[in-house]
Amino acid sequence: MTESRVALITGSSSGIGASIARRLAAEGIRVVVNSAHSERAGKALAAELPDAVYVQGDVSDAEDARRIVRTAVEAFGRLDILVNNAGTTRFIPLDDLEGADADAWRAIFDVNVIGAWQMTTAAVPHLRESGAGSIVNISSVSATRALGSSIPYAVSKAALNHMTRLLASQLGPDVRVNAVAPGLIDTPWYDGAEAVWESSREWITDNTPLRRVGTGDDVAGAALYLVNAAYTTGDVLTVDGGRHVV
């Protein structure tokens, strides 16, 4: 019997990451759940899944990133899939240039860009060894459009998109690298920014072909497709209910 694949999903104790963990586990993939802070929720999710472990660690810390990957390989003996889902933002109006200070830029890039890079470089030797490694980066439609929770956040996701393409060009044929770019998704991401969430929900519902905001399951379905899409690399798959076409 062929040993089932192993997926490491960063920032997966809740929201989109948890949805991806559940979807991959439902496909028989063994899962490593990760979070920087929500240890209780992460352990609970791992216990809920059929064959999963939890590892705490902050992807923006280089040693933590290496330890997360090392723990995943020690637990299951291999690593086939890396989902760089861990992310952060600050809700700063796009016209508030002073509000988007250097501290905001550093905090966001440390997780969204450098964190993804550190996880990738730590994971690549194991993904190569698997023979059919796959990396899926969770980006955002704000990477290509003049919108988002803040300018630093949008720029960080644009950087992640380009990182995806550059890595795809260098890691083939052993490792494929793709990204999912969600639109507005109903997750705990907006906790503490309810006014922003409600106005965004109303606008998206009125102005998007599918007439609803997205769910974590919508993004998880796209991630699963890219995990299994053996002839796809360097792609950024938009999941925004069709907003990009109107």
The residues annotated with a catalytic role in the active site are 153
Is residue 106 within 8 Å of residue 152, measured between CB atoms? Answer: no
Spell out the SS3 assignment of the chain. Answer: CCCCCEEEECCCCCHHHHHHHHHHHHCCCEEEEEECCCHHHHHHHHHHCCCEEEEECCCCCHHHHHHHHHHHHHHHCCCCEEEECCCCCCCCCCCCCCCCCHHHHHHHHHHHHHHHHHHHHHHHHHHHHHCCEEEEEECCHHHCCCCCCCHHHHHHHHHHHHHHHHHHHHHCCCEEEEEEEECCECCHHHCCCHHHHHHHHHHHHHHCCCCCCECHHHHHHHHHHHHHCCCCCCCEEEECCCHHHC
Euclidean distance between CA atoms 184 and 243, whole angstroms: 10
Euclidean distance between CA atoms 106 and 170, whole angstroms: 27
